[in-house]
């Protein structure tokens, strides 16, 4: 099994600064969407990526590795936010290669804190793996809001978990087989607020190669409105030699 991966980010059409950060370096693929505006959301997302990058030299990662990196990033964010009155935080979403023991199968472990997302595209079908930590997701789960109306709700940008704000991060996890033909998309909500699931699936189906696919997704989201920063990391599982672009 080998991987082809790439990450692309764009400030979008309405934001002055890009508060998204990403890491695309095997075994770890992460997107962090900072929040706080003038309170340095970019510093928060960068803290997550910097701490996660310390894992990237290993062939596999563990949930303990990720949780340690997130805890240290939380401390980094607290220092950066010491002179601000408003809270500073970030989402942290991604996937990493993992293995159960020396002889176990290689898998992807997906993790999420916040409302950035991981999607699985395989056999022409798109599936959202992560579940948003957001007010509107809780309303959908409770049957108080239809999923199709979530993006239009006035609280659509309010998340219920984050890295930062002097709170211990609490990621959720999912496990996926790392088999040839599988394609993962890790993205910020700047992409999913502009592109429907059908449009995302169409681009992932029609564009070959991780770098062209990530570029096409980001460009489509910016063209559709670009109301927020947009970031996409695409990971393809295939045979042959491993390649990447970032």
Look at residues 130, 125, 92 and name the one whose alpha carbon lies nearest to residue 231: 92
Query: 213 with 45: CB under 8 angstroms?
Result: no
Strand (E) positions, 105-146?
A: 106-113, 117-122, 125-128
Tell me whether strands 163-164 and 243-245 are parallel, antiparallel or unpaired: unpaired
| Domains located in the chain, CATH noted | 2-240 (3.60.40.10)
pLDDT confidence of 239, banded at 50, 70, 90?
Answer: confident
DSSP H or E segment with residue 186: strand 183-187
* Span 130-185, pLDDT tens digits: 999 999 999 998 999 988 888 788 888 889 999 999 899 999 999 999 999 999 99
DSSP H or E segment with residue 49: helix 41-53
pLDDT at residue 131, as a whole number: 97
**Residue 108, both tokens:** 């992807």
Among 66-75, 95-104, 155-164, top mean pLDDT goes to 66-75
C-beta atoms surrounding 48 within 10 Å: 34
Determine the Cα–Cα distance for residues 73 and 69; give it in Å rounded to an integer.
6
pLDDT at residue 39, as a whole number: 53
| Percentage of the chain modeled with pLDDT above 70 | 95
**Greater confidence, 36 or 124?**
124
- Report the half-sphere exposure of 33 (CA within 13 A, side-chain side): 29
Determine the Cα–Cα distance for residues 146 and 169; give it in Å rounded to an integer.
28
Enumerate the β-bridge partners of residue 203. none
pLDDT at residue 244, as a whole number: 61
Please, what is the end-to-end C-alpha distance for the chain in angstroms? 21
Tell me whether strands 92-99 and 117-122 are parallel, antiparallel or unpaired: unpaired
Average pLDDT for residues 186-190, to the nearest whole number? 98
* Span 189-220, pLDDT tens digits: 999 999 999 999 999 999 999 999 999 999 99
Determine the Cα–Cα distance for residues 153 and 155; give it in Å rounded to an integer.
5
* Span 42-64, pLDDT tens digits: 999 999 999 999 999 899 999 99
User: Is residue 246 predicted with pLDDT exceeding 70?
Assistant: no
Tell me whether strands 92-99 and 163-164 are parallel, antiparallel or unpaired: unpaired
SS (H, E, C) 54-75: CCCCCCCCCHHHHHHHHHHHHH
pLDDT confidence of 109, banded at 50, 70, 90?
Answer: very high
pLDDT at residue 33, as a whole number: 97
Determine the Cα–Cα distance for residues 15 and 155; give it in Å rounded to an integer.
20
């Amino acid at each position: 099994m080998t991987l082809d991966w790439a990450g692309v980010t764009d400030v979008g059409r309405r934001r002055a600064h890009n508060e998204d950060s990403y890491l695309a370096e095997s075994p770890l693929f992460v997107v962090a969407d900072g929040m706080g505006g003038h309170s340095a959301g970019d510093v928060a997302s960068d803290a997550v990526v910097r701490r996660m990058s310390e894992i990237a030299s290993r062939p596999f990662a563990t949930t303990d590795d990720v949780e340690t990196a997130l805890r240290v990033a939380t401390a980094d964010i607290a220092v950066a936010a010491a002179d601000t009155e408003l809270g500073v935080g970030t989402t942290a979403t991604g996937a990493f290669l993992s293995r159960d023991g020396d002889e176990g199968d290689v898998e992807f472990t997906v993790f999420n804190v916040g409302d950035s997302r991981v999607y699985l595209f395989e056999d022409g079908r798109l599936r959202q793996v992560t579940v948003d930590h957001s007010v509107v997701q809780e309303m959908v789960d409770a049957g108080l809001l239809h999923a199709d109306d979530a993006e239009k709700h006035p609280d659509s940008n309010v998340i219920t978990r984050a890295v930062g704000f002097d709170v211990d991060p609490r990621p959720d996890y999912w496990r996926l087989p790392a088999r040839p033909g599988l394609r993962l998309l890790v993205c910020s909500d700047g992409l999913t607020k502009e592109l429907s699931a059908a449009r995302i699936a169409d681009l992932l189906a029609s564009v070959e190669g991780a770098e062209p696919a990530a570029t096409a997704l980001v460009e489509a989201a910016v063209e559709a409105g670009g109301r927020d920063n947009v970031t996409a990391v695409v990971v393809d599982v295939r045979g042959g030699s491993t390649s990447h672009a970032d």
